[in-house]
Amino acid sequence: MICYANWIKHRLTKLVNLWINGQFERINRTIKEATVKLYQYGSQDQLRTHLGDFMAAGNLARIHKTLSSLTPFEFTCKIWTSGPDRLTIDPSHQMPGQNKYR
């Protein structure tokens, strides 16, 4: 339901591609280690808030070698400026604060 509400198409990987499956398993492990294995939450809302903060930090601050040493947000904005027809929504509205990425 969350994917649908955010216009994300949920796709499953094929079993023949173990490297991709391993990538997803690793990020899931990282998320669990940073949230539910480290903290006790009083409610689902507390977990959602912490998970949102963790994901925002990962998308806005953490650089990735596979994205040419850009953050996922910077990479998405780069794709938007080079070929906006590849995305349906301008990603710059996701930037926190008053300043937009351009």
Q: pTM for this structure?
A: 0.57
Asked if the structure places residue 79 within a domain, the reply is yes
Asked if the structure places residue 28 within a domain, the reply is no
Q: What pLDDT score does 2 carry?
A: 76
How many CB atoms sit inside 10 A of residue 95's CB?
14
pLDDT tens-digit readout, 25-66: 888 898 899 898 999 999 989 999 999 888 888 878 888 888
How many folded domains does the chain comprise?
Answer: 1
DSSP 3-state of 64: strand
Asked if the structure places residue 48 within a domain, the reply is yes
Torsion sign over Cα 75, 79, 13, 53 = positive
Q: Which two tokens stand for residue 32?
A: 């669990």
Asked if the structure places residue 4 within a domain, the reply is no
Asked if the structure places residue 86 within a domain, the reply is yes
DSSP 3-state of 15: coil
Asked if the structure places residue 40 within a domain, the reply is yes
Asked if the structure places residue 2 within a domain, the reply is no
Q: Strands, DSSP E only, in the chain?
A: none
Residue 60's domain spans which residues?
35-95
The CA–CA distances, whole Å, from 5 to 2, 8, 12, 88 equal 5, 8, 18, 14
Asked if the structure places residue 77 within a domain, the reply is yes
